[in-house]
Chains A and B, each alone.
Chain A
């Protein structure tokens, strides 16, 4: 190998390294931003207390400027509903072995959200206080919808200028020092807002004090690496519409397997190929 060629090969390798941060190194995996370390907030939903009044649905719609649903109408409980672009939270009724149970559904605000990892323009962001929020620099690729384990982000397909809609844990209200609208509206204190750590204490205390009332599991404590929304129930969670097969691994970890190899390939491939090129060069060729 001539000196010139060696330098060329070295140059390619170094370019690879220089490009490294540009070409896909995982800097943040849903972790909190450097410099700020407030605690994650959250909401504890005690489904044993919920009476299905849907006051949370109305309050949510009102505070987000969406059409307010008629909460007197109980016929909505006849079908299983999912959040929509117009309703960021919905309450469903489930018939279980211990009678009917009402369950509020909305974004779970994962500790390490798949949507945040998926987003290529950082439109989805995990705020320092745990809120998973959406911003208008979104390009509408809908990768977040493809990966979200809870199927939460909803896209306005019918609009020419669409937005991504989902619960933001009342981020705007939080910045003004207010608690989330749904929590404020709940007449039963089925919803409580607080530091995620305190909520876990509270949930565990409730289970410990009243083992007959509660099924001994807090949904969201560990699911997909933990979520800010956590649930208590009197029956096993699969009876009230929860997926219990998601595992406790944060979803961003599944992608990390690949992202970690990117650097390796970017450094090994060019250098290996250059030496293959040199090795297979024909004699007498001055190419």
Chain B
């Protein structure tokens, strides 16, 4: 009994904010989040038309393109790292595996969670899971189910850390014993839903510009989730190592440099595979026939500006061990994924429509997206400040 009381007392003390409240970050982001919440309420009261620029021609907009299509590959670092560390026993990445799992878990909870805003008939959101009308034949059904299952997997992967934080040794041991099967299931689910997002675009043939539409899109999207996830780890890791330096032990800090170099190498490899496949698709569809046009130019910006150039930057930066350049390349790669996903949802989608009928996000859509990202950062900060995230796990 006494133990349970202590536990509750501990949780209550941890719930209180740590450190100063009126920091510049808090002062700027708190009002943004509050206004965002008002927009979200407005969306539920007045319908999608009241806050979004969605139309009959463009059924999907920023919320799908950013929250789902971009957020999910950016969170790919989680499944890559657990695969390397727990399945392949690469101890080198142990110091960042927990942080990677945490950002993956939060990304899935928030971005996939934000999907509910985009569902026009959101009260039916549970129909694919508990209804009696499973649309097995739909790729979107597969993705919905995999999002749910993977979020559970990511939670189970992170749960030992929560148990450690609460000093619940028995639960931690239990969670630890099921870790490998959970990791393996998680990687399998990730493979399928990361590529599944690409498979969503397959049936939009004829509506997506021929330079982008391809049977290989699922594989391209899967590759993007590998180098996108690693770029996110480089980008996010660089920031949190500065912001949360007081939470990071010396032994983790020391290894940060060589981990970043390793991530950059892996990132370059996957990016190379992506560009090679992209090139072969270009040849298959006779891409040169479309290249001298507005869309052709935009294609080159995406593939060369945010693909080939960051690849060259990575390769040379890895040789010179130039972390600064690696960070810039990682940022460009993340931006490149964002551009690709936007293309499939509303830029290269129905490229044939005149500008007046095209979709561009409303300020309220952008604001809501910012709210979701900032809320996620608040939660991330809360967890990192309390739980043992930056720790090198001991062999058991």
A in complex with B: yes
**Docked-complex contact B119 and A269, CB < 8 angstroms:** no
**Docked-complex contact B203 and A117, CB < 8 angstroms:** yes
**Docked-complex contact A162 and B60, CB < 8 angstroms:** no
Q: Which residue of A lies closest to B61 (CB)?
A: A142
The tally of residues in B whose CB lies under 8 Å from a CB in A reads 65
**Docked-complex contact A274 and B142, CB < 8 angstroms:** no
Q: Decide if B120 is an interface residue (CB 8 Å cutoff).
A: yes
Q: Which residue of B lies closest to A16 (CB)?
A: B188
Which one of A12, A21, A140, A149 contacts B181 once the chains associate, using CB atoms below 8 Å?
A12
Q: How far is the CA of A102 from the CA of B154 in the complex (A)?
A: 57
Q: Which residue of B lies closest to A258 (CB)?
A: B199
**Docked-complex contact A26 and B120, CB < 8 angstroms:** no
Known interface pairs A120-B138, A280-B89; A162-B121 also in contact (CB < 8 Å):
yes
Known interface pairs A12-B181, A252-B137; A121-B203 also in contact (CB < 8 Å):
no
**CB-defined interface of A1-42 with B at 8 Å, one 1/0 digit per residue?**
000000010001000100001111111111000000000000
CB distance from A204 to the nearest CB of B (A): 27
Q: How far is the CA of A247 from the CA of B357 in the complex (A)?
A: 26
Which one of A114, A160, A259, A276 contacts B44 once the chains associate, using CB atoms below 8 Å?
A160
**CB-defined interface of A138-150 with B at 8 Å, one 1/0 digit per residue?**
1111110111010
Q: How far is the CA of A120 from the CA of B76 in the complex (A)?
A: 24
**Docked-complex contact A285 and B395, CB < 8 angstroms:** yes
Q: How far is the CA of A138 from the CA of B134 in the complex (A)?
A: 12
**Docked-complex contact A162 and B48, CB < 8 angstroms:** yes
Q: How far is the CA of A143 from the CA of B69 in the complex (A)?
A: 14
**Docked-complex contact A259 and B135, CB < 8 angstroms:** no
Which one of A23, A84, A156, A251 contacts B145 once the chains associate, using CB atoms below 8 Å?
A23
Which one of B83, B144, B203 contacts A254 once the chains associate, using CB atoms below 8 Å?
B203
**Docked-complex contact A145 and B199, CB < 8 angstroms:** no
Q: Decide if A66 is an interface residue (CB 8 Å cutoff).
A: no
**CB-defined interface of A239-270 with B at 8 Å, one 1/0 digit per residue?**
00001011100011011011100100110011
Q: Decide if B325 is an interface residue (CB 8 Å cutoff).
A: no
Q: Which residue of B lies closest to A22 (CB)?
A: B145
Q: Decide if B202 is an interface residue (CB 8 Å cutoff).
A: yes
Q: Decide if A72 is an interface residue (CB 8 Å cutoff).
A: no
**Docked-complex contact B134 and A122, CB < 8 angstroms:** yes
**Docked-complex contact A142 and B120, CB < 8 angstroms:** yes
Q: How far is the CA of A123 from the CA of B131 in the complex (A)?
A: 11
Q: How far is the CA of A282 from the CA of B94 in the complex (A)?
A: 15
**CB-defined interface of A81-121 with B at 8 Å, one 1/0 digit per residue?**
01010000000000000000000000000000010011111
Which one of A140, A243, A245 contacts B124 once the chains associate, using CB atoms below 8 Å?
A140
**Docked-complex contact B127 and A121, CB < 8 angstroms:** yes
Q: How far is the CA of A114 from the CA of B87 in the complex (A)?
A: 39
CB distance from A155 to the nearest CB of B (A): 6
Q: Which residue of B lies closest to A145 (CB)?
A: B59
Q: Decide if B128 is an interface residue (CB 8 Å cutoff).
A: yes
* Complex interface: chain A residues within 8 A of B60 (CB): 142, 146
**Docked-complex contact A139 and B124, CB < 8 angstroms:** yes
Known interface pairs A26-B137, A118-B140; A140-B192 also in contact (CB < 8 Å):
no
Within 8 A of A (CB), among B191-233: 191-192, 195-196, 199-200, 202-207, 215, 218
Q: Decide if A137 is an interface residue (CB 8 Å cutoff).
A: yes
**CB-defined interface of B15-59 with A at 8 Å, one 1/0 digit per residue?**
000000000000000000000000000001111111010111101
CB distance from A122 to the nearest CB of B (A): 4
Known interface pairs A142-B60, A266-B188; A282-B122 also in contact (CB < 8 Å):
no
* Complex interface: chain B residues within 8 A of A160 (CB): 44-47
Q: How far is the CA of A28 from the CA of B49 in the complex (A)?
A: 34
Q: Decide if A209 is an interface residue (CB 8 Å cutoff).
A: no
Q: How far is the CA of A121 from the CA of B141 in the complex (A)?
A: 8
Q: Which residue of B lies closest to A25 (CB)?
A: B136
**Docked-complex contact A137 and B127, CB < 8 angstroms:** yes
Q: Which residue of A lies closest to B143 (CB)?
A: A120
Q: Which residue of A lies closest to B121 (CB)?
A: A140
Q: Which residue of B lies closest to A27 (CB)?
A: B136
**Docked-complex contact A258 and B136, CB < 8 angstroms:** no
**Docked-complex contact A280 and B138, CB < 8 angstroms:** no
Which one of B56, B120, B135, B215 contacts A121 once the chains associate, using CB atoms below 8 Å?
B135
Q: Decide if B139 is an interface residue (CB 8 Å cutoff).
A: yes
Q: Decide if A212 is an interface residue (CB 8 Å cutoff).
A: no
Residues of A at under 8 Å CB distance from B?
Answer: 8, 12, 16, 21-30, 82, 84, 114, 117-123, 137-143, 145-147, 149, 151, 154-162, 243, 245-247, 251-252, 254-255, 257-259, 262, 265-266, 269-270, 273-274, 276-277, 280-282, 285, 287
Q: A122-B135, A255-B202 are in contact. List 18 more A-B contacts (CB 8 A).
A: A25-B136, A120-B135, A120-B144, A140-B121, A142-B59, A146-B59, A155-B56, A157-B52, A158-B50, A159-B47, A162-B121, A255-B139, A258-B195, A258-B218, A259-B142, A269-B191, A276-B87, A280-B89
24 interchain pairs (CB within 8 A)? A23-B142, A122-B135, A123-B133, A137-B124, A137-B133, A138-B121, A139-B127, A140-B119, A142-B59, A143-B140, A146-B60, A149-B207, A151-B57, A155-B120, A157-B48, A255-B137, A255-B202, A258-B195, A259-B199, A265-B191, A265-B192, A270-B188, A273-B184, A274-B180
